[in-house]
Structure 1
Amino acid sequence: MQTNFESFPILTLHEKLDAGQFALPKLQRAFVWNGAKAAKMLDSVYEGMPIGSLTLWDTRKKNRGLLRISTKVLPPYKNHHRRVLFVLDGQQRLSVLHGVRAGGSVQSGRRGELDFGRMVFRVTEEAGPRFQYRNPVEREWISLQDILASNWIERLGGLPRRSFKRAEDCRDRLLAYEVPCVRVETDDIDDARELFIRINSTGTPLGAADRAFARASEFDLRELADQAAEKMPDTFKRIRDEVVLQTLALLEGFEDLGGDAMDKVVATLNERIRAQGPSAIKQFTKTWDLQQKAMHRALDLLRIQFHVLDDGLLPSQYMVATLTVFFFRHARQPQPEQLAQISRWFWSTALGSRYSGSGYRGNILQDSDYFKRLAANGREVFRVTDLIDPTEIRRASYGKRSAIADAFFCLLIAQKPKLLTNATLMQMEYFASNANRRHKHHIFPRNLLTKAGVGPSSLNSILNLCFIPAEENSKFGARPPHRYLLDYCEKRYFPDVMARHLIPHNDEAGIWKKKARAAYYQFLREREERVCEAFEKVAGCRLFRRV
């Protein structure tokens, strides 16, 4: 292995990109930067500050089979070159340097998109950031695609003289900036894989899945994971690669979690494929396909049976992994007896935060083994061993996501809540979406509680929340519930609506009391009891300790 240190002006990098000298290897990750991060890097270039180096694997053309196909980020490698320059580190930076000149949009991560036409430079004198990710504004925010274009003088001809000079200065600074490059010459693929893992310190850190992808020398695990991600339901696109690989580890019977499990899976599969050849690849492909089908069945059940409408309501993504084990062994809908046990598992795991904290490892592995038994024997009982303190519900905060809070919102959705104004069923796919947080509102208004001296921990309790359309909530304003509910309490449908929102509403309930502080604390106790009863009803078993 030979290492060379050099640097290139960005203008030269553009020329090399146009010539198709660079390539992304299959072990490289997808583009994940957002506009704000790209703008910050460009500002560093403008100011002459370090942005980190590029690490290039210089190898013979015979290794071009490692090319990552259809990256849609960098120009494609051209086959007439005798050698390939694989980008091992600095892909994100190089992609931005190319994109701001070439324009166009690229996928960023699983759900995002970065439109390079919106990377702009401010040509006016105002104080503030010079680079932003936003729509261009004539004579103020100019697209870098125009500034870096070959016909830039023509494109910027309408600017005032001083603004034109600022744009010209920006162009000169960007194109002249020297990017340090580390070029490593080796034809040993294993050396390149290990180098990729070791050097990734200046960019986006490598996760356990990325390390596993890089070490999968006998099969393209990253490509398989990307294909699986593309086929995920739109509402579950944020399921992490680590969850998919952890599922594979559970199916392979490894008694490990996280990076250790993924490394063992990859090492085992590499060795198996080397020893058995195409037959091992065929068997793995079959297992992988069955795993993806099982995972889709698991997601369907979570959505339909437990009202996890999107990945923003998942108490733990690893619940998808363990439930997938069941559907891998039981490739059809669960029988009623099995569904009853899955219900016990779901609610007790979510409320008990069993997949976090010190006990998460043992719980995940035990649940994986349990689901294998349940798939084989539909009467296998899931035992709830640790009852939950009911006050944990009250202490769960709206402002901080937790498994308990996610379970609480799933429970509310399960009640099929109705609008207070006319008793129409709420369309929960819309109102409960992670993108529509504005439809979760306080039953006792925050301003009212703050003035009454209620502390932050009680003020932000999830028990003070319910699903209310923003338009309906605006009618209530900052009035206490005993006042804004007067408009509806005589309606015939009122008891049913309140019951569906799990809000105690008898004549002596806290919501009718006039002293805000005392009323609120009474309400919390009452709703805590009501919510705990509802949780145990849907779970079909006891979940909480009796106080």
Structure 2
Amino acid sequence: MSFQTPRSIEDVLGAIHRREYLMPAIQREFVWGTDQIVRLVDSLMRGYPVGSFLLWEVKPETARSYTFYEFLTDYHERDNPYADRATVPAGTGTTAVLDGQQRLTSLNIALYGSFAEKKKYAWWNSAGAFPVKRLYLNLVDDPADEELGLKYDLRFLQDTEAAPRDGEPDKWFRVGAVLGLANSGPAIMKELARRRIADDGEAFQRLYDLYDAVRVLKPINYFLVTDQDADKVLEIFVRVNSGGTPLSYSDLLLSMATNQWKELDAREEVRSLVADLNSNAGRQFSFSKDVVLKTALTIAGVDVRFTVSNFTQANMEKVESAWPDVKGALLRAAALLQQFGYNEHNLTANSVIVPLAHYLHLRGAQDSYLDSSSDARDRLAVQGWVTRSLIKRGIWGSGLDTTLTRIREALIARAGDGFPVAEVESAMAAVGKPLSFDDVEVDELLNLKYAGQRTFSVLSVLYPGLDLSKQFHEDHIFPKSRFTKKRLLNSGIPAEVVDDFIGSVNLLPNLQLLAGSANIEKQDSLPGSWIESAFPTDAHRKNYVHDNDLDDLPLELSEFLSFFEARKERMRSRLVKALGTPLATAADEA
């Protein structure tokens, strides 16, 4: 390993675009965010060191045995989050980046590309959820927030956001445009004049600092590894990647599998399966590659932990051999969770799909299992266990590998007889993950709020007769829009109980699951009036009232609190019976 002559950013990025530098498959995916990219560019413009880099000179005879990837230029969180696989021509070698790919990818995006991440609260598949932004430098103003510790105002903006308003100077300079300046003197002055900020000395300095950092200075210091022993290179790689954004074991496992699988490309297979799980067939989930890999280890029958000692050739052969079964089981498990009414917003623990997929694999379930009448009872047993495990706090948190291992053992022992609820729950209880609920926990559930993480799961347990494969919404029985202080007082509600009304409207006893179309029709109607108009016969009305526990539903808003307390007590009894509390167990035994 030898130290090489420093290079400029322009020079190194040029080599990347000439495909002289590639990434080995053992590299993780790009994980930096916009804040990290901005800080890196700010540091370079200030002349600060940005750390050394480690490259690997790969000879032709070595290159043909490994997989390499190109660098990302236009990152899109949904549509283009991964680098493309590179082709190394036969008989040629390459230079692989062992340490520094996050920084080099960030610089490539900053100067040549764009960054598109999901807007907060936007739906994954909605139009405009991923605005495309490029890095811009403010030539006129200092950073608005001094606490960030930045000298330059660098921001990822949409091109329309960076465009000047009528009569204002064109202050936002796209960082990548610095590569098109002919020099650092007259060309900068001409650029500033075109932007109507030619008399601003600070603007000249900012643009000069950017030019100097990218095209003149040589901050890229790197070491070159020439050893062709892959095991030694892997050891170096693991050691140098212990800082920064940590290299997860799932990243390493996926990278190792990419090199060790003989017939399939592990990285492409996992990427494709994650995409299918999350978005195909109308699904909206957010399963990660970690969950997919954990499921693969579970079904392959190897240690489920993400530890280096687990990344053996023998284990990877088992995972590759089991991969077709893993794919089928996971896709059916996702479809089953969708039938249970879950999506990315109310599935509070993605890890629940691991034992669910394993069970479907063990019983050899095919697509027919999802809607077969002969399997209906088994699906209900699975749904009950899944839902209660999501309601109970802490089940899928700490000690996950131990929990998954014990569940796997219980499923292997009894899966042929249908989903073994008792055996699985006994195994979970043995490692401190019981699915029983005490009185305090039941009271906590009764105080869950509208759109809370566990609210959907609790409502689905309370009212199991609903076909949740259809679109259901959490709905206020008494509409929230009527529970403002002004509207309540205008409706004759005494002032001394107005706060009680407002404090109760979003709690579980005033919530139900209602079909999407019915929820739209209901809007802010009082429940009694809506039921009269929505259901044509007494029989239909009685069924709806019974199914949703709406006995003694008042017609008037003034009786809301009495209804709320009565329904709360009925819900408590239902939960005690449905969740397997100690009180329910004692009553059953009596």
User: Shorter-normalised TM-score: what interval?
Assistant: 0.7 to 0.9
Give the counterpart of 1:345 among 367, 385, 396.
Answer: 385
Alignment of 1:271-290 (within 5 A): 271=314, 285-290=320-325
Task: Quickly say closer, same or farther: Cα 1:399–1:301, change in 2 above 3 A.
Answer: closer
Q: Supply the distance in 1 between the matched residues of 2:131 and 2:8 (Cα, whole angstroms).
A: 24
Give the counterpart of 2:234 among 185, 188, 193.
Answer: 193
Q: Supply the distance in 1 between the matched residues of 2:137 and 2:549 (Cα, whole angstroms).
A: 53
Q: Supply the distance in 2 between the matched residues of 1:450 and 1:226 (Cα, whole angstroms).
A: 58
What secondary structure sits across from 1:24 in the alignment?
A: strand
Q: Name 1:388's counterpart in structure 2.
A: 437
Which deviates more, 493-502 or 147-156?
493-502
Alignment of 1:488-503 (within 5 A): 488=529, 491-493=532-534, 502=548
Task: Quickly say closer, same or farther: Cα 1:194–1:399, change in 2 above 3 A.
Answer: farther
- Residue 305 of structure 2 aligns to which amino acid in structure 1? G
Q: Name 2:104's counterpart in structure 1.
A: 94
Q: C-alpha offsets along residues 458-490 of structure 1, whole Å, 9 cap, x if unaligned?
A: 998666666799x989986xxxxxxx8389468
Q: Name 1:258's counterpart in structure 2.
A: 305
Aligned pair 1:376/2:416, yes or no?
yes
Per-residue deviation, 1:381: 5.0
Per-residue deviation, 1:58: 2.9
CA RMSD of aligned residues (A): 4.8
Q: Name 2:139's counterpart in structure 1.
A: 123
Q: Name 2:260's counterpart in structure 1.
A: 218
- TM norm structure 2: 0.68
User: Contact 1:119–1:133 (CA<8 Å) still a contact in 2?
Assistant: yes
Q: How many residues align structurally?
A: 497
User: Contact 1:59–1:84 (CA<8 Å) still a contact in 2?
Assistant: yes
Per-residue deviation, 1:525: 7.4
Q: Supply the distance in 2 between the matched residues of 1:119 and 1:500 (Cα, whole angstroms).
A: 58
Task: Quickly say closer, same or farther: Cα 1:503–1:444, change in 2 above 3 A.
Answer: farther
Per-residue deviation, 1:22: 0.9
Alignment of 1:191-340 (within 5 A): 191-216=232-257, 217-219=259-261, 221-234=266-279, 235=283, 238-254=286-302, 256-260=303-307, 263=308, 265-267=310-312, 270-271=313-314, 285-304=320-339, 306-308=340-342, 310-329=343-362, 330-332=364-366, 333-334=368-369, 335-340=375-380
Please list every run of 5 or more consecutive structure 2 residues that lacks an aligned counterpart in the other structure: 74-82, 119-123, 146-152, 165-169, 370-374, 427-434, 489-494, 536-540, 585-590
Please list every run of 5 or more consecutive structure 1 residues that lacks an aligned counterpart in the other structure: 274-280, 418-424, 477-483
- Residue 138 of structure 2 aligns to which amino acid in structure 1? R
Per-residue deviation, 1:355: 2.9
Task: Quickly say closer, same or farther: Cα 1:115–1:79, change in 2 above 3 A.
Answer: farther
Q: Supply the distance in 1 between the matched residues of 2:320 and 2:400 (Cα, whole angstroms).
A: 30
Q: Supply the distance in 2 between the matched residues of 1:44 and 1:460 (Cα, whole angstroms).
A: 48
Structure with greater Cα Rg: 2
What secondary structure sits across from 2:323 in the alignment?
A: helix
Per-residue deviation, 1:501: 10
- Residue 271 of structure 1 aligns to which amino acid in structure 2? A
Q: Supply the distance in 2 between the matched residues of 1:532 and 1:350 (Cα, whole angstroms).
A: 20
Q: C-alpha offsets along residues 492-547 of structure 1, whole Å, 9 cap, x if unaligned?
A: 44978995995757357997458xxxx49x837733742762796xxxx5533448
User: Contact 1:25–1:86 (CA<8 Å) still a contact in 2?
Assistant: yes
Q: Supply the distance in 1 between the matched residues of 2:290 and 2:231 (Cα, whole angstroms).
A: 23
User: Contact 1:348–1:543 (CA<8 Å) still a contact in 2?
Assistant: no
What secondary structure sits across from 1:8 in the alignment?
A: coil
Q: Supply the distance in 2 between the matched residues of 1:3 and 1:338 (Cα, whole angstroms).
A: 63
User: Contact 1:148–1:171 (CA<8 Å) still a contact in 2?
Assistant: no
Alignment of 1:411-426 (within 5 A): none
Q: Supply the distance in 1 between the matched residues of 2:413 and 2:356 (Cα, whole angstroms).
A: 12
Q: Supply the distance in 2 between the matched residues of 1:258 and 1:380 (Cα, whole angstroms).
A: 24
- Residue 248 of structure 1 aligns to which amino acid in structure 2? A
Alignment of 1:464-479 (within 5 A): none
Per-residue deviation, 1:83: 5.0
Per-residue deviation, 1:209: 0.4
Aligned pair 1:169/2:190, yes or no?
no
- Residue 248 of structure 2 aligns to which amino acid in structure 1? G
Alignment of 1:47-62 (within 5 A): 47-62=46-61
Q: Supply the distance in 2 between the matched residues of 1:531 and 1:376 (Cα, whole angstroms).
A: 35
Per-residue deviation, 1:60: 2.2
Alignment of 1:417-496 (within 5 A): 428=471, 485=526, 488=529, 491-493=532-534
- Residue 181 of structure 1 aligns to which amino acid in structure 2? Y
Aligned pair 1:45/2:44, yes or no?
yes
- Residue 26 of structure 1 aligns to which amino acid in structure 2? A
Task: Quickly say closer, same or farther: Cα 1:377–1:19, change in 2 above 3 A.
Answer: same
Per-residue deviation, 1:300: 0.5
Q: C-alpha offsets along residues 213-244 of structure 1, whole Å, 9 cap, x if unaligned?
A: 34445225434322322333414563122222
- Residue 135 of structure 2 aligns to which amino acid in structure 1? M
Q: Supply the distance in 1 between the matched residues of 2:48 and 2:498 (Cα, whole angstroms).
A: 52
- TM norm structure 1: 0.73
Which deviates more, 349-358 or 86-95?
349-358
Per-residue deviation, 1:34: 3.4
Task: Quickly say closer, same or farther: Cα 1:115–1:458, change in 2 above 3 A.
Answer: closer
User: Contact 1:502–1:527 (CA<8 Å) still a contact in 2?
Assistant: no
